[in-house]
Amino acid sequence: MPELLPSLPAFLAFLAAGFALNLTPGPDMLYVAARGAAEGRRAGIVSALGIGAGALVHTGFAALGLAAVLAASAMAYEVIRWAGAAYLLWIAVQLWKQGDLPPQPAGLPKSSLWRIFAQGAVTNVLNPKVALFFLAFLPQFVDPAGGNVALELVVLGTVFNVSGTIVNLAVGVLAGRAGAFFARRARWWRWQNRIVAGIMAALAARLALGAQRT
């Protein structure tokens, strides 16, 4: 029967390293914080779950070896990188056009929550750096002698994703409460829409203009 986890010392090291990495602010955490602050606690929670769903896709890619395509093919990397940047920029434009209109987290329709979830998932899936991270990080804790490397990758990737989702859920809730504090400020909505749009545009620029592959 194949082993699903590495040895206990290796697994504990993986948990510690994974949790430390998940606490480090990055594009996903900034996206969740921006959504929570702009549209309330529910939006922050849903965006965190969307990011988690996207990370599951990367776990599957790593397990099946598809992430290796991104590592080997400069063209595939560039196509996905620019697609992700364009998607984030589109979100930024929509938020900027919203102007003074405040979101209504208390009565947000299900379709809007679904769009927030889908945006989080797509934003994560279209970030090739996440795929390359999974490809570089997870195999360090896999035991090739365990019998099923792909299965170990799935388990480790899922554990890492659960840890990251818990962190992002906390960020979304805290950001949502901070956003609710400013809800009654007259000029808050215009400025928060612009700030969030700026964050989305900055994330797009970071993804599009970041360090090139070597």
Please check the confidence at residue 45 and state whether its pLDDT lies above 90. yes
Q: Which residues contact 136 (CB under 8 A, 6 or more apart)?
A: none
Q: Which pLDDT value is given to residue 101?
A: 55
State the DSSP string of 111-163.
HHHHHHHHHHHHHHHT-HHHHHHHHHHGGGG--GGGS-HHHHHHHHHHHHHHH
Nearest to 55 by CA among 164, 171, 148: 164
Q: Which pLDDT value is given to residue 52?
A: 94
Specify whether the CB–CB gap between 43 and 116 falls below 8 A: yes
Summarize pLDDT for 162-194 with one digit per residue, the tens: 999 999 999 989 887 776 655 555 466 677 677
Specify whether the CB–CB gap between 207 and 88 falls below 8 A: yes
Out of 22-36, 61-75, 187-201, the most confident range is 22-36
Residue 207: CB atoms within 10 A of its CB come to 24
pTM score of the predicted model:
0.70
Which tokens belong to 145?
Answer: 């002698």
- The conformation of residue 106, written as its DSSP 8-state character, comes to G
Domain boundaries, the chain: 26-209
Summarize pLDDT for 84-126 with one digit per residue, the tens: 778 778 877 877 776 655 444 433 334 478 888 998 898 888 8
Summarize pLDDT for 46-64 with one digit per residue, the tens: 999 999 999 998 888 877 7
